[in-house]
Amino acid sequence: MSNNNSRKKHTQERLIAWLVFILVVAVITTGIIFIAIKIKAPIESKINEIKEQRAEQAAGEKDEEPEEEPAGEEEQEALNEDDLVSIFDHEDSTESENSVPQKSEKDDPLWEEAGSRMEDMTMEQRAAQMFFVTPEALTGVDKATAAGEKTRTAYIDHPVGGVILFQDNIEDAEQFSLMTSNLQKFARETVGLPLFLGADPSLNIDGETPEGINVIFGPSADIEDKDYNATADHVAGELDKLHEAGCLGVVGHFPGYASITEEETLTTSKDWGELMESDLIPFSRAIDENLKLLTISNIRVPEVTGDEIPASMSGIIITQKLRLDMGYDSVIITEPMNEQSLGEAYSPTEGALNAIKAGADVVLMPQDLDGCYQALLDAVSKGEISKERIDESALRIIRAKLYLEQLRDSLADEGSEVSSEL
């Protein structure tokens, strides 16, 4: 009986111990769960906060530097083809393809002043600066020997950059001086710039270049005796003399008539390398020595251009070769656009617009000034020729005129010094 009681008591103690153990475990587990719940909430909140911050940062970086999706095969092929198309493809070219970006870091301060002057001009005035005409073309008279109110009105309507004069425009020194001074007055009143008053070297009064002329169409760099270096010396010397006299010379006729092998078509068989070693030596020398005005000829250079387009209308010759390869950044003037050879192949407006699209700055003696000027404005309005293309040429023209002003001011100062010494 005692043993049974002992076993029963022992069993009860074990049961109680298990119950206590289970109770303790339950309490501990409940405590752990409670603590975990308390800790979990702030941790999750912090994690979510961090995630949101990272997401916002990633979104910001994506906005700043969008990831470009790779182009499809067809799109990439098109881009490559565009890259490979020559910017001087005359058949499909636009004015932008034959434009030369203006350098922003020019040593010559006249570029900045030219830009400032240009800002005061309308687009119509800038475009008109790209024409160099006879006084008869400007006014419509048969023979111009004076510049009065009719000329003033005509100039306001067509504020051209230059007027070229011939012996027929001269009666005597006094008449010619009054005529040229009035032309300059009208130009300054209208656009605030001097007028290029040009002439052939043969123009004279009593054997002297008449007063008022500030641009001489010469010297010519065309080679006759094939002594290229001697011709280069001659051209450089003549330009210096003209500068000392307060005039600008216009070197002609790029790339040179002396290389012509077919007179009837005005074509040369030389390639660019051959021209650089011969006919272009005088031009290259003049460019290195501060050339401001140059005429582009109507000859054809198929070994360079791959076609029969005249140099005066070729983006390859004007923009690629003369501007980019030879580094000429000043004014390019066409040869007279009223030449019969051009008139047979191009209408007056076609010739003028083709030259401008190719990169020429000034159209010399167009067959129809009013028609060509209006065609140029229409081309700008339609987007066929950009305003930037017009500004490029206007800037070069204005800069050359400012340089001319410097020459004449320097000459006047020297004259004043001589007078004061006397």
Q: Which residues pair with 199 in a beta bridge?
A: 165, 216
Q: What is the pLDDT of residue 379?
A: 98
Q: How many domains does the chain have?
A: 1
Q: What is the pLDDT of residue 38?
A: 52
Sequential DSSP letters for 388-422: HHHHHHHHHHHHHHHHHHHHHHHHHHHHHHHHHH-
Q: Which structural domain, as residue segments, surrounds residue 294?
A: 108-416
Domain assignment present for 26: no
Blockwise average pLDDT, block size 10, the chain, 422 residues: 56 68 66 53 53 55 46 40 36 50 63 96 98 97 96 97 97 97 98 97 92 95 80 94 95 89 87 94 94 95 95 97 97 90 82 97 96 98 97 98 93 60 44
Residue written as token pair 């054997």: 207
Domain assignment present for 121: yes
Cβ atoms 304, 298 nearer than 8 A: no
Kindly list the distances between the CA atom of residue 188 and the CA atoms of 110, 148, 160, 181, in Å, as whole numbers in the listed order.
Answer: 18, 15, 12, 11
pTM, entire model: 0.75
Q: What is the pLDDT of residue 397?
A: 98
Helices (H), 245-360: 272-276, 281-288, 302-305, 315, 340-343, 348-358
User: Would residue 158 be called left, alpha or beta, if left means φ above 0 and alpha means ψ between -120 and 50 degrees?
Assistant: beta
Q: What is the pLDDT of residue 52?
A: 60
Kindly list the distances between the CA atom of residue 386 and the CA atoms of 95, 150, 223, 374, 391, in Å, as whole numbers in the listed order.
Answer: 7, 32, 37, 15, 9
Cβ atoms 165, 198 nearer than 8 A: yes
Sequential DSSP letters for 24-88: HHHHHHHHHHHHHHHHHHHHHHHHHHHHHHHHHHHHHHHHHSPPPPPPPHHHHHHHHHHHHS-TT
Q: CA–CA separation, 21 vs 116, rounded Å?
A: 98
Count of C-beta atoms within a 10 Å radius of residue 324: 13
Domain assignment present for 303: yes
Quick one: how far is CA 393 from the chain centroid?
Answer: 7
Domain assignment present for 116: yes
Domain assignment present for 130: yes
43: which 2 tokens? 């941790």
Q: What is the pLDDT of residue 151?
A: 97
Q: What is the pLDDT of residue 95?
A: 44
Q: What is the pLDDT of residue 336?
A: 93
Closest CA to 245 of 222, 220, 292, 212: 212
CA torsion sign for 127, 356, 267, 366 is negative
Domain assignment present for 213: yes
Domain assignment present for 13: no
Q: CA–CA separation, 117 vs 306, rounded Å?
A: 40
Cβ atoms 199, 213 nearer than 8 A: yes
Count of C-beta atoms within a 10 Å radius of residue 199: 24
Which residues of 205-290 form beta strands (DSSP E)?
A: 215-216, 248-254, 260-262, 267-268
Quick one: how far is CA 140 from the chain centroid?
Answer: 33
Q: For residue 207, what is the domain's CATH number? A: 3.20.20.300
Q: What is the pLDDT of residue 419?
A: 43
Cβ atoms 43, 50 nearer than 8 A: no
Q: CA–CA separation, 402 vs 391, rounded Å?
A: 16
Beta strand pairing status for 363-364 and 131-133? Answer: parallel
Q: Tell me: cis bond preceding 255? Omega within 30 of 0 counts.
A: yes
Domain assignment present for 359: yes
3-state secondary structure of 226: coil
